Structure 1
Amino acid sequence: MSNEQTSNDETLKRWTAKRRVALVLEILRGETTAAEAARRHDLTVAEIEQWKERFLGGAENALRSRPLDDEALKNQEIKRLQRKVGELVMDIDILKEASKANPSMRQMRDE
């Protein structure tokens, strides 16, 4: 097995659900930040923030008097992701407009 394959296997084993929960709890307790954890574990802040959102969403559902079933949870996640995509599209549109109005931004983009 190549070193790259071994490294990928270790990464997969290293971030089990149990390990992700432990990291998210460290962040929620204020023992570390997402940025610090990302640097320490060679992860992205976005990846850690996604784990945190999923963790909190699952906790919220677990504490409901009538928890949502899997289908309802999937629909809820789809709606959240659709909102996020909408926000990102708006950000892109704003940046496009700003680059039209500001020639220096166009130069940076073209370089």
Structure 2
Amino acid sequence: MSGKLDEEIKRWTVRRKSVLVMDIIQGKTTIREASQAFDLPASEIEHWVAEGKRGLENALRVNPLDVKEQYERQIKELQQAYGEAMLELRGKKKQQVSAPDEEAR
């Protein structure tokens, strides 16, 4: 791993996270190795890597979105997915309620 991360880390600053994420992206270490070395949950490191890739992708856009726009877009997508899931759930409940009535006939 990078020499910048060899000392004992008491607090994970943005700079330290970015160094670790770059080490993972460049293949210098793996999420599993970093998880074991720094006693961190692999899921947390995976989240850092995903956020780093998302930020990198945004930075390379012709017209990068600001953070507020990114979060607003995420919220809109999540609200849409939630609405679709609720409609599907309501449809299944209606089928369950009407199914016993049809069987009784």
TM-score bracket for the superposition, by shorter chain length: 0.5 to 0.7
Deviation >3 Å, runs of 4+: 76-80
Among the aligned pairs, what percent are the same residue?
Answer: 39
TM superposition shift of 1:69: 2.0
Residue 53 of structure 1: aligned partner: 50
Q: Which amino acid aligns with 1:35?
A: R
The C-alpha deviation readout for 1:55-93, integer Å capped at 9, x for no partner, is 11111111111011222211344447x97xxxxxxxxxx
- Write out aligned runs for 1:9-48 (5 A): 11=10, 13=11, 15-48=12-45
Aligned length: 71
Between the aligned partners of 1:76 and 1:53, the Cα distance in structure 2 is 17
- Unmatched 5+ stretches in structure 1: 1-9, 84-111
Between the aligned partners of 1:53 and 1:76, the Cα distance in structure 2 is 17
The C-alpha deviation readout for 1:8-65, integer Å capped at 9, x for no partner, is xx63x3x100000110111111111101100100101110010001111111111111
- The correspondence for 1:73, drawn from 56, 70, 73, is 70
Structure number with greater Rg is: 2
Q: Could you say which structure has the higher helix fraction?
A: 1
The RMSD of aligned alpha carbons is 2.1
Q: Which amino acid aligns with 1:57?
A: R
Cα distance, 1:77–1:38 mapped onto 2, change above 3 Å: farther
| TM-score, scaled relative to structure 2 | 0.59
Cα distance, 1:57–1:20 mapped onto 2, change above 3 Å: same
Between the aligned partners of 2:73 and 2:27, the Cα distance in structure 1 is 28
Cα distance, 1:33–1:76 mapped onto 2, change above 3 Å: farther
Between the aligned partners of 2:31 and 2:45, the Cα distance in structure 1 is 6
- Unmatched 5+ stretches in structure 2: 1-8, 82-105
